[in-house]
Amino acid sequence: MYRERIVFLAQWIIEAFLIVVLPLISFLRLFIPLNTVKNHNSHKPPIIIIELWFAKTISHMFLKRYLEEKHFKVYLFNYNPMNGGVDDGAYRLKQFITHHKINNCILVGISMGAITSFVYAQRFGGWKKIKKLFCMAGPFHGTPWARSFSFLKSGRQLLPQSNFLKQLEKEKMPDPSRIVCISAKSDEFVPRWSSILSHARNEEVAVVGHNNLHVWSREVWEMVAKEAV
């Protein structure tokens, strides 16, 4: 019990560190080739890591490199919510996939990017292109944190009980078995009840913290790599 408390406290300290540091070091994206795509001759399904954030971040370069070491061809897609809402991001994702001629792919949607991925699959013909969809801490039922950017369309869409989310929840999923929702044991931004989709497969990972889940959870990386093939 004492050891568990130490691990729990340590993870929250790391989470607090990430919350402060990641925005401060975001400028490093100017020096790290995030758009580089490797393993062009791979026979494994291509993977697209999807963010919905104000700038392409370095947060997911560890996941990207891990998957590349497993010989996956990995793309990183970002949509700036200043340019529109979740549905606009989903449309841009469709354009991205069409432009790169990607088929039979794996989508890894992170936080708001999980909603973007799901909307693409549901409303923009994405299920014809997708083999599997991983949703990491996706606020499918909203998040109180969205109030902090409710001046944006995407912020209003992700408020709990928003009309956008209510309509999305009513939509029938053609094959829920192709969706894996991954949530942290404790998440300060997206409560676990919000990141669950009924009928889909829902997995809880024994980590605490929103960033700890998607930035460097080895268990999550292994889950994606194993199930992608």
Can you list the residues of the chain whose pLDDT is less than 70?
1
**CA 123 to CA 116: how far, in whole Å?**
10
Question: What CATH number corresponds to the domain at position 153?
Answer: 3.40.50.1820
Furthest-apart CA pair in the chain: how many Å? 53
**CA 220 to CA 136: how far, in whole Å?**
9
Contact 161, 212 (CB under 8 A): no
3-state helix, strand, coil in the chain (%, to 5): 50, 20, 35
Whole-prediction pTM: 0.95
| Domain range enclosing 151 | 2-228
Q: What is the per-residue pLDDT across 66-107, written as a single tens digit (0 to 9) for each?
A: 999 999 999 999 999 999 999 999 999 999 999 999 999 999
Residues in the chain: 229
Number of domains comprising the chain: 1
DSSP 167: H
